[in-house]
Amino acid sequence: MKQRTLTILKPDTVTHHNCGAVIARLEQEGFEIRAARMVWLSKEQAEVFYAVHKDKPFYRPLVEFMTSGPVWVLALEREDAIEYLRKVMGATDSAKAAPGTIRQQFGTNIERNAIHGSDSPDNARTELAFFFSTSDLA
Ligand code: UDP
Ligand code: MG
């Protein structure tokens, strides 16, 4: 089933000039880009986006990192997009991510891991709506 998911190319990917390489990889993997935008998240936006983690010890540093510079947000479409993106991204910790995954190739550690991907259909819907209006996604 064709699905849409949200990805974020995190500030480390922008800083390291890896956006082109990551997007090329995503296109090679069969994802269609349906919408894309560069955004410098406010503290409030990052807090809301990662609210599920608000009681975790990594929450404050994560918000700090995600607001340290601009990011690219993209709406991606593909067969089984949500699960497939998570597979191509690799494990959360870039230092432990499997060879050939985006996080292994472009990330640094468990925080600076290059890319975000929605983890469920419900979250994909919420996260796409967080950044894109329905007309962007038509
Ligand atoms: N993160 C972190 N330390 C941790 C776990 C996560 O800094 O111990 C950061 C990391 O950038 C991760 C984000 O918080 O991508 C969200 O965490 P989650 O567990 O949802 O991982 P993901 O779904 O991104 O793999
Ligand atoms: Mg997550």
Looking at residue 72, its amino acid is W
Name the band, by pLDDT with cuts 50, 70 and 90, for residue 138. Answer: confident
Residue the block writes with tokens 């796409």:
128
109 touches ligand 1 (CB under 6 Å): no
Average pLDDT over residues 100-120: 98
Mean pLDDT taken over the chain: 98
- Please check whether residue 77 is in contact with residue 3, taking contact to mean a CB–CB distance below 8 angstroms: yes
Q: Which of 20, 12, 23 is nearest to 70 (CA)?
A: 12
Rounded distance, CA 56 to CA 74, Å? 26
Asked whether the predicted pLDDT for residue 60 surpasses 90, the reply is yes
Verify whether ligand 1 is closer than 6 Å to residue 91 (CB atom): no
Supply the pTM of this predicted model.
Answer: 0.98
- Band the pLDDT of 99: cuts 50, 70, 90: very high
Pocket test for ligand 1, best of 7, 111, 112 (most atoms within 8 A of CB): 111
DSSP state for residue 69 in the 8-state scheme: S
Query: What's the pLDDT at 35?
Result: 98
Q: What is the pLDDT of residue 17?
A: 98
CB 7 near ligand 1, within 6 Å: no
Checking if the pLDDT of 122 tops 90, the result is: yes
Please check whether residue 18 is in contact with residue 26, taking contact to mean a CB–CB distance below 8 angstroms. Answer: no
Contact 70, 11 (CB under 8 A): yes
58 lines ligand 1 (CB under 6 A): yes
Mean local confidence (pLDDT), 56-83: 98
Q: What mean pLDDT comes out for the span 36-52?
A: 98
CA–CA distances in Å: residue 63 to residues 28, 31, 41, 42, 93: 31, 28, 9, 9, 17
Cα–Cα distance, 73 to 79 (Å, whole number): 20
| 52, 58, 67: residue to mutate for ligand 1 pocket, most atoms within 8 A of CB | 58
